[in-house]
């Protein structure tokens, strides 16, 4: 068993601090190497109370938590803030494309996760995985045709062949040396400047173009999308709660929803619920 640190990256803002805490805690619960866990949190500024919540991971499990304020990162300000975004997918999603410009240079392998995830199997399995020379490992996305072409499968055929495998970027195992060789940041800048970015589904399409035919496919159970209760029987390693049904909703009907609430902790679950309700009311009534 390797004694090397396990580097895990999350990118989020204040609106997702509680799910970020939950995915970190799920990793710690499932791992036998908790002191080796290093969580690298990329954010555009977090409230002091949210930082205190996230810091509890280190206190409870002995893991290390590192914070990277993207407002202080010149590369993110120069490139990330120019990329396409939406109300749901903010600029912070592009921080994952800049991990080699954010994390310390000595980091050799990174495991990136979206925050709407629940990890059930030891993350060290991915930290010790043989990537067979590939820059990244990921899980195939079964919804690739809709993602790359929208409502017309004839769109973007000059960019994506529908017969090519396409991965979901919510869970990535990254070899940092091979990642740097691919010049991800430079490719992103080119796509922004030549207008290609306007035709893409954010960072996921960018990564699929850059690493086309050069990624290791992981078992589907390492990024099970939109999991429902019957999926529990398959003992998935990692659940990815995409879509409208989220485990932090009061009624969600998702796989392991009840367990997830206890992973997040009841206290934080309900605090996050009221946080979202206040934000929604402000939006409805145009309050500041």
Strands 109-113 and 6-11, how do they pair? parallel
Contact predicate 63/23, CB 8 Å: no
List Cβ neighbours of 76 (8 Å cut-off, separation of 6 or more): 70, 94, 95, 98, 101, 102
pLDDT value, residue 105? 95
Task: Collect the ranges in the chain with pLDDT lower than 50.
Answer: none
pLDDT value, residue 63? 99
DSSP tag of 155: T
Whether this prediction's pTM lies above 0.85 is answered by: yes
With tokens 């209760």, the residue in question is 229
With tokens 């803002």, the residue in question is 13
Phi then psi for 201, rounded to 5 degrees?
A: -85, 75
pLDDT value, residue 185? 95
- What does 203-225 look like in DSSP terms, one character per residue? HHHHHHHHTTT-EEEPPGGGSEE
pLDDT value, residue 162? 85
Strands 6-11 and 37-43, how do they pair? parallel
Give the C-alpha separation, 84 to 115, whole Å.
20
pLDDT value, residue 84? 63
**pLDDT tens sequence across 264-286:** 999 999 999 999 999 889 888 87
Give the C-alpha separation, 19 to 276, whole Å.
12
Rounded to 5°, angle at Cα 158 from 155 and 159: 90
- What does 249-263 look like in DSSP terms, one character per residue? SSS---TTHHHHHHH
Contact predicate 207/93, CB 8 Å: no
Domains and CATH numbers, the chain: 6-284 (3.90.550.10)
Give the C-alpha separation, 157 to 86, whole Å.
24
**pLDDT tens sequence across 156-193:** 777 778 888 999 999 999 999 999 999 999 999 999 99
Give the C-alpha separation, 205 to 160, whole Å.
9
Cα-based distances in Å from 213 to 23, 163, 164, 209, 216: 29, 12, 8, 9, 9
Percent of all residues in the chain with a pLDDT value above 70, rounded to a whole number = 95
Give the C-alpha separation, 42 to 195, whole Å.
27
Give the C-alpha separation, 156 to 54, whole Å.
40
């Amino acid at each position: 068993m390797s004694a090397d640190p396990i580097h895990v990256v999350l990118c989020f803002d204040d609106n997702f601090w509680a799910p970020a805490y939950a995915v970190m805690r799920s990793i710690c619960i499932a791992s036998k190497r908790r002191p080796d866990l290093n969580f690298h949190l990329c954010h555009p500024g977090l409230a002091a109370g949210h930082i205190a919540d996230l810091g509890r991971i280190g206190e409870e499990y002995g893991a290390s938590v590192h914070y990277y304020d993207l407002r202080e990162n010149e590369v993110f300000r120069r490139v990330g803030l120019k990329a396409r975004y939406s109300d749901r997918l903010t600029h912070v999603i592009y921080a994952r494309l800049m991990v080699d410009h954010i994390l310390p240079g000595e980091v050799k392998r990174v495991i990136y996760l979206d925050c709407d995830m629940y990890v059930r199997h030891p993350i060290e399995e991915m930290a010790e995985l043989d990537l067979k020379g590939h820059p990244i490992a990921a899980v195939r996305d079964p919804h690739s045709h809709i993602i790359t072409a929208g409502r017309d499968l004839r769109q973007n055929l000059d960019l994506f062949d529908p017969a090519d495998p396409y991965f979901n970027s919510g869970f990535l195992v990254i070899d940092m040396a091979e990642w740097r060789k691919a010049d991800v940041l430079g490719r992103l800048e080119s796509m922004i400047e030549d207008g290609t970015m306007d035709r893409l589904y954010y960072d996921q399409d960018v990564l699929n173009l850059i690493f086309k035919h050069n990624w290791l496919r992981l078992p589907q159970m390492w990024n099970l999308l939109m999991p429902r209760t019957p999926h529990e029987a398959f003992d998935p390693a990692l659940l990815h709660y995409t879509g409208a049904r989220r485990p932090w909703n009061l009624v969600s009907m998702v796989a392991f929803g009840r367990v997830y609430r206890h992973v997040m902790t009841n206290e934080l679950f309900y605090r996050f619920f009221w946080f979202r309700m206040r934000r929604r009311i402000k939006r409805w009534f145009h309050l500041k």
